[in-house]
Amino acid sequence: MRSERMERSVVVAPREEQIRIDGQIVEQVSTVGPEEGHAVRVTIIQGGRSKNGYVYDEAALRQIAQLIEGAQAYADHARSGEEQVNRSVRDVVGFYQDATYVAQGDGGRVDATLHIFEAADWLWSMIKEACDLGRPELIGLSIDIFGQWQLNEASKAKEITSVVQLNSCDVVTRPSAGGSFRRILHHDDTDNHDNHDKANYHMTLQGEYEHMTITPEKIEEATQGETTGEAIQAQAQTQQQQIEQQRREVERLLNEVHLQKANLLLERRLQESILPEAARSQVRQRLQGRLFEEQELEHEISSAQTLLAQLSRDGLIRGHGHEKTAISGMVTEAEKVQAAFDGMFGLDIDTGKVGNVRGFVSIHEAYSRVTGDSSLRAGISSGSHLGPIQVAESAPIGRVSEADTTTASFSYLLGTSMNKRLLKDYEAWPAEWQKFVSVIPIKDFKQQTRVRLGAFGSLPVVAEDTPYSTVTLTDSAATYVPQKRGNLVTISRETILNDDLQAIRQIPTKLAVAAAYTLAEFVYSFLSTNPVIYDTANLFTTGSPHNNLGAAALSTTAMQNGITAMREQSNYAGKRLGLRPRYLVVPPELEWTSMVVTKSAGVPGSPNNDINPMLGYVTPIVAPQLSSSTQWFLLGDPREVDTIEIGFVGGQVNPSLFIQDQPMVGLNFTQDAITYKIRHEYGGAVVDYRGIYRGI
């Protein structure tokens, strides 16, 4: 099928008449069959000075013409530098060819033919419709290049001295000039278009119509200009090898930078992982020295962790001189008995390690199996040795002393399983307060001091030959003393005789709940009691000094006022910090209200169906420990702003369970009872009020 290219549409009339010429930046190649694809003649860039102050002369335009030849065309610019390097094949819409520099009075331009693939028929349809409707400015071209420029002191213009690499020339909706040092991005996110500015690289698919008077002499002059342009184009071919060499050098340098970034990421993630050094070395050998995606690195680390976990669970190692034929041969009788105690408390038994072990069904059975005293004639004593568990129900219960079980006792085994049950129940208890507080380890019970340094104001201007002024920082300190909390729990001989397994099973669960609830009460008391903090003022005040106390019930409007108050919080120098709350803490009475105000698409109760700006803005946290049914709180992320600090002595976040089972000491001697002690040591304080707001 025949195709025609309309470079100009000129009608010649007598000299005295005005002649109208429709100047088109882009000429559509019409009557192209489906098998031939689609093509448009486009202007890649206009010479001269752009709105952003970059000046492209003839040499720069010729370099761009060399680089644009054969380049791929993409739909829209890449969103990031990484995506720019690895563009998706789904974004390719065509390619450029027949690129040429065209000399003209206003600085020249670069033209090329854009071939659009059949797979991008949606784009071709958009181009045709935009042109047919007389709205060519709705779509255009924008280039993304690497280059060098120097500042012209007289004109304050940034003159392009070298165009090193073309990243892409993309089809966009708002083409315009833009740029930054050494990397000029021709894409503008504003909605303003200036079709009359010849220097803004307005590479639209069709220009505006212009009215001008033209004579045969002017037509001849234009024809001579095109001939001159072709001669210059031929001369520019001699520079292609040098430009191509520069492009390859830039690509090599970019590849080295990306490789260095990949190696730094690899070492950082390996150091952060919990993998042993041998596993780290294997991951390092697979990835070091080549480019890789971050997802590939995470997959390698995860696979190594999964493999190590599987090996630890199976316990079977073959090769390297560590052959083990049966894992059951490595398990002691003490471990089997401990597993039976774990089963008695409903804990999971690792059958891959200890085999098929049945949990004890009664406390009496557990005591008899361990001590061999089926009638409890000897009372409760830690001196009794651990005997083996017999598989058959009719097996004898006689005591058997083995070298690896002589240190075990009934009280120790029972306490170990109770401690496991306690920790499991404690960790299962909701502790959402950890989202908005800072948890740190502390060494001892001494007073903890958290110094809050002041802030510098705006830097003053330093005049010529004058010294810099000296400023000092003010500070304040938040202090607290950690405390010890705990209880004693006894298991008597009567409990064992009565075989009250249900009572013993409840002990660790109830201790775990008590510890978790006590800690939650301690944290939420800072919010509900409005304590005096480090600056001798209450945590929440209306107006000065804290301005973080509202007087309205929970609603979208009240939350917006609270957010504004938090945004307006300032440092010691009076500079606003722009803090943002991340969590909405409410009592159970306000749970459903919090869901409505944070999850409704429209403003609740609004007759105009207004959009709810609080939709997903914060995460609700329901705290049963809050004493007021009307108070609600906004809190920031502790990674962005300090709020409340909770310090655990020795870094022991979980409570600890201890056993007192010496036969000649304490209740074991006087009352035939084993004593268990739970201990939890921590303290805390408000270290910064600016990340906390209370409503009503």
Which of 456, 481, 484, 449 has the alpha carbon at shortest distance from 470? Answer: 456
DSSP annotation of 139 reads S
Q: Return d(Cα 184, Cα 166) in angstroms, integer.
A: 10
Residue 664 has pLDDT above 60, yes or no: no
For residue 278, the one-letter residue type is A
Residue 523 has pLDDT above 90, yes or no: yes
Of all residues in the chain, the percent with pLDDT exceeding 90 is 24
* Contact assessment for residue 678 and residue 422, using Cβ atoms and an 8 Å cutoff: yes
Tell me what pLDDT residue 32 has. 36
Residue 566 has pLDDT above 70, yes or no: yes
How many DSSP H helices and E strands does the chain contain? 16, 22
Low-confidence winner among 18-32, 40-54, 260-274, 682-696 (lowest mean pLDDT): 18-32
- pLDDT category at 78 given cuts 50, 70, 90 is confident
* Contact assessment for residue 611 and residue 565, using Cβ atoms and an 8 Å cutoff: no
Q: Return d(Cα 415, Cα 422) in angstroms, integer.
A: 10
- pLDDT category at 392 given cuts 50, 70, 90 is very low
Of all residues in the chain, the percent with pLDDT exceeding 70 is 72
* Contact assessment for residue 317 and residue 330, using Cβ atoms and an 8 Å cutoff: no
Low-confidence winner among 226-240, 329-343, 367-381, 587-601 (lowest mean pLDDT): 367-381
Residue 527 has pLDDT above 90, yes or no: yes
Q: Return d(Cα 435, Cα 432) in angstroms, integer.
A: 6
Q: Which segment, 5-14, 206-215, 670-679, is predicted with the most confidence on average?
A: 670-679
Q: Which segment, 156-170, 302-316, 666-680, is predicted with the most confidence on average?
A: 156-170
Max Cα separation, the chain? 133
Which of 552, 554, 532, 551 has the alpha carbon at shortest distance from 689? Answer: 532
Beta bridge partners of 681: 484
Tell me what pLDDT residue 225 has. 54
Q: Are strands 437-442 and 644-649 parallel, antiparallel or unpaired?
A: parallel
Residue range 258-272: average pLDDT?
82
Residue 133 has pLDDT above 70, yes or no: yes
Q: Is 156 left (phi over 0), alpha (psi -120 to 50) or beta?
A: left
Q: Which residues of 542-569 are buried (b: 16+ CB within 10 A; e: fewer)?
A: eeeebbbbbeeebbbebbebbbebbeeb
Q: Return d(Cα 299, Cα 305) in angstroms, integer.
A: 10
- pLDDT category at 661 given cuts 50, 70, 90 is low
Residue 438 has pLDDT above 90, yes or no: yes
Tell me what pLDDT residue 370 has. 77
Which of 694, 689, 691 has the alpha carbon at shortest distance from 478? Answer: 689
- pLDDT category at 54 given cuts 50, 70, 90 is confident
Instruction: Give the tokens for residue 151.
Output: 């500042």
**Which of 640 and 605 is assigned the larger pLDDT?**
640
Q: Return d(Cα 554, Cα 386) in angstroms, integer.
A: 61
DSSP annotation of 538 reads B
Residue range 447-469: average pLDDT?
81
Q: Cα Rg for the chain, rounded, in angstroms?
A: 39
Angle at 215 between CA 212 and CA 216, to 5 degrees: 140
* Contact assessment for residue 657 and residue 554, using Cβ atoms and an 8 Å cutoff: no
Residue 217 has pLDDT above 90, yes or no: no
Judge residue 478's burial from the number of C-beta atoms within 10 Å of its C-beta, 0-12 exposed, 13-18 middle, 19 or more buried: buried
Q: Return d(Cα 675, Cα 14) in angstroms, integer.
A: 118
Cβ-based neighbour number of residue 483 at 10 Å:
13
**Which of 394 and 619 is assigned the larger pLDDT?**
619
Q: Which segment, 39-48, 283-292, 351-360, 554-563, is predicted with the most confidence on average?
A: 554-563
* Contact assessment for residue 48 and residue 107, using Cβ atoms and an 8 Å cutoff: yes
Residue 282 has pLDDT above 60, yes or no: yes
Which of 333, 328, 382 has the alpha carbon at shortest distance from 355? Answer: 328
Which of 168, 201, 167, 163 has the alpha carbon at shortest distance from 182? Answer: 163
Q: Return d(Cα 466, Cα 462) in angstroms, integer.
A: 7
**For residue 42, what are the CA distances in angstroms to 89, 127, 231, 315?**
23, 12, 21, 68
Low-confidence winner among 84-98, 127-141, 514-528, 581-595 (lowest mean pLDDT): 127-141
Mean pLDDT across the chain:
75
Tell me what pLDDT residue 325 has. 42
- pLDDT category at 508 given cuts 50, 70, 90 is confident
Tell me what pLDDT residue 77 has. 74
Instruction: Give the tokens for residue 570.
Output: 């300032």
Tell me what pLDDT residue 406 has. 33
- pLDDT category at 158 given cuts 50, 70, 90 is confident
Which of 122, 99, 102, 140 has the alpha carbon at shortest distance from 38? Answer: 122
Question: DSSP 3-state assignment of 340?
Answer: helix
Tell me what pLDDT residue 690 has. 95
For residues 657, 662, 666, 671, the Cα torsion angle rounded to the nearest 10 degrees is 100
Tell me what pLDDT residue 211 has. 36
Residue range 410-439: average pLDDT?
85
Q: Return d(Cα 207, Cα 200) in angstroms, integer.
A: 13
**Which of 163 and 475 is assigned the larger pLDDT?**
163
**Which of 10 and 547 is assigned the larger pLDDT?**
547
Instruction: Cis check for the bond before 508: say yes or no (omega within 30 of 0).
Output: no
pTM of the predicted model as reported, rounded to 2 decimal places: 0.47
Residue 679 has pLDDT above 70, yes or no: yes
Tell me what pLDDT residue 229 has. 59
- pLDDT category at 435 given cuts 50, 70, 90 is very high
- pLDDT category at 632 given cuts 50, 70, 90 is very high
Question: DSSP 3-state assignment of 137?
Answer: helix
Tell me what pLDDT residue 202 has. 34
Q: Return d(Cα 520, Cα 4) in angstroms, integer.
A: 79
Low-confidence winner among 239-253, 380-394, 573-587 (lowest mean pLDDT): 380-394
